[in-house]
Chain A
Amino acid sequence: GENVEQHPSTLSVQEGDSAVIKCTYSDSASNYFPWYKQELGKRPQLIIDIRSNVGEKKDQRIAVTLNKTAKHFSLHITETQPEDSAVYFCAASPHGQAGTALIFGKGTTLSVSS
């Protein structure tokens, strides 16, 4: 079945720097890759997603890139702010499974210091 690996597990940056989180997946038929942000004690919030027919997608300071050949996708956050501090999860939607059966990575704890 699908397996999603996420790196790094923790990331510390200074305010204003960029942050990059990378995920790899195993099922080449996976076709949907969302990213979720989870603050302490809160629900995971969908922040951006990308489908397999697109290579890059941007939303203000956040961007996601997808390399289908290498089977990896990345989250890029520019001009980081303290409120970006949270746990970020990547996920993949494996082919042949229930439509909403996402496989999640183990998360990256991002700390932005001012």
Chain B
Amino acid sequence: DAGVTQSPTHLIKTRGQQVTLRCSPISGHKSVSWYQQVLGQGPQFIFQYYEKEERGRGNFPDRFSARQFPNYSSELNVNALLLGDSALYLCASSPPYSGNTIYFGEGSWLTVV
């Protein structure tokens, strides 16, 4: 079975631009979470979506938004990019009835210049 898939794998954006990152969960998983991992740090929780509804949000500004589609795929949007938004953005999905067990995708490397 395919794991969590994310696109694009790498991208470079200019300060002030907007970016959309995409994620497809493991087949059968209905919950998707987004994390930001800055170089040298552990992942930091941004959002969780379940059945198209936001179920949790981390300590990130309103420039960050997300949504989940009927097929359980998800998009993360970041507006007005700052240099500090440069990071690996990880999507994770959770199997049904697993509570908080999450499996990460390979991530999208975002560089803001």
Contacts and interface: CB of A to CB of B under 8 A. Distances in A.
Q: Mostly helix, strand, loop or mixed at chain B's interface? A: strand
A54 to B, nearest CB: 14
B107 A93 contact: no
Contacts of A91: 42
Given A43-B106, A43-B107, A98-B56, A103 B45 contact: yes
Q: How extensive is the interface on chain A, given as a class?
A: 20 to 34
Interface stretch (A62-70, A75-83, A104-112): A104-112
A75 B3 CA distance: 25
A36 B100 CA distance: 14
A44 B43 CA distance: 9
Interface in B36-65: 37, 40-45, 48, 50, 55-58
Contacts of A34: 101-102
A36 to B, nearest CB: 8
Contacts of B57: 98
Contacts of A103: 45
A42 interface: yes
Contacts of A36: 104
The 3 closest A-B CB pairs, nearest first, are: A98-B56, A104-B42, A100-B33
